[in-house]
Amino acid sequence: MGCVSKYLIVTSLFFSLGQPVFAEDWGSKSGREQALEELKDFDPSVRRSALARLAETGINEDVPYMLRLLRDDNFSVRGMADQAITGLWLRLDNLSAKRLFVKAIGALQSGQERQAIDHLDRVIDAEPSFSEAWNKRGDAWLRLGDLDRALADYEIALKLNPYHYGVMQSCASIWMERSQARRAYNYLSQAIAINPNLDHLIPVIVDLEERLDNDRI
């Protein structure tokens, strides 16, 4: 079906050995608690700045509050919310593991999946609760055509981070490849329920719904 290459969403952010590089709003530095309060501010620029600070200082428990801004009335706030949530998920305090993770991302971008897996194995050994390492290793296995290992890694990533709408799309792409419409539909429905800005999923979901309806005839 070719669904993997068409519908798989791979996060692409540029890393330094320190913090990821994001939009200009990332310059402001104030407390995490204040940033959470400012998510409710009337001014869209304040909400964007708050999201940016949470990408640097937030914790996993802050993600549900950030997810609400994926439904913000302001387009730029919604875009910043997506970037900030991804930035928080990609943050890794262990410097040696972070260096390995950056190398793994570079290897993936260069098409060196086996090398990426070697780096990610070491990241997972050092930081087994870092969901993005499992996610990216799943991406590497997927590119190598090993759907079983990819799905296993994605499932662990989702256990560690049940809000990860990107991983849900990756799981759906595998089930579409396997002609398992119900499972693919369930993953994509979850993804768009969390992030309603995933407009590109709508025709895919509609197509899957039609298949499921036909199966019931």
For 98-156, write each residue's pLDDT tens digit. 999 999 999 999 999 999 999 999 999 999 999 999 999 999 999 999 999 999 999 99
24-90 folds as Leucine-rich Repeat Variant (1.25.10)
Helices (H) then strands (E): counts for the chain: 12, 0
| Extents of the domains making up the chain | 3-10+94-216, 24-90
Helices 131-143 and 95-109 cross at an angle (nearest 10°) of 20
So what's the pLDDT on residue 30? 53
So what's the pLDDT on residue 214? 78
Contact 169, 177 (CB under 8 A): no
What is the pTM (predicted TM-score) of this model? Answer: 0.84
Distances (CA, A) of 16 to 58, 73, 98, 183: 19, 32, 10, 37
All residue ranges of the chain with pLDDT < 50 are 1-29, 217
- DSSP per-residue codes, 76-115: HHHHHHHHHHHHHHH----HHHHHHHHHHHHHHHTT-HHH
Class assignment of domain 3-10+94-216?
Answer: mainly alpha
